[in-house]
Amino acid sequence: MPMSQQISSPPKASSPPAPNCIETAVNTQRELSWQVASNLFVSFKYAWCGISYAFQTQRNFRIHVGVGALAISLSVFLHLKSVEIAVIGLTSGLVLTLELLNTAIESIVDLTVKQTYHELAKIAKDCAAGAVLVSALVAVIVAAVLLLPPLLTLVLGSISP
């Protein structure tokens, strides 16, 4: 059979289909996934699908969301300055961003090596996980520096007569 008959080009379409989040990511192959999203709204829907996928399938992502929300809530409760709340929000956002990248890297590596072991795949996955760990430790240090002084003042002030 000639090469032109063996490989068929993808069908032409005016725009890619709307994302269907988890079903698309896990159960079926997104049709025409090589195309650029037709508009900004579709791009945001694809991004939201990635966040939803991570939240539903990655335990650590859910933990980071909870801890970040707790840190921001506590900073608002303690009446931290806006810039301090922003720093806590930025460091929490960095952790979530790196967790999403870690999930993407792990998925690509798993797709590439399938069920086999490869030392370079291990290095890629370990380094991505290490990036999340470093950012999470930095976020904890930032939160401790900003939250502990007013928290201790509140706790010790309520104990004193």
Contact 65, 30 (CB under 8 A): no
Give the span between the Cα atoms of 49 and 24, in whole angstroms: 9
3-class secondary structure, 64: helix
Q: Which tokens belong to 144? A: 């401790």
23 noted as active-site residue: no
Tell me how far apart the alpha carbons of residues 79 and 146 are, in angstroms, rounded to a whole number. Answer: 11
Which candidate in 31, 84, 99, 119 is catalytic?
Answer: 99
- Of 27, 98, 20, 19, residue with least CA distance to 58: 98
Q: Find out whether 132 and 102 touch, Cβ atoms under 8 Å.
A: yes
Secondary structure letter of residue 24 according to DSSP: I
**Residues annotated as part of the active site:** 99
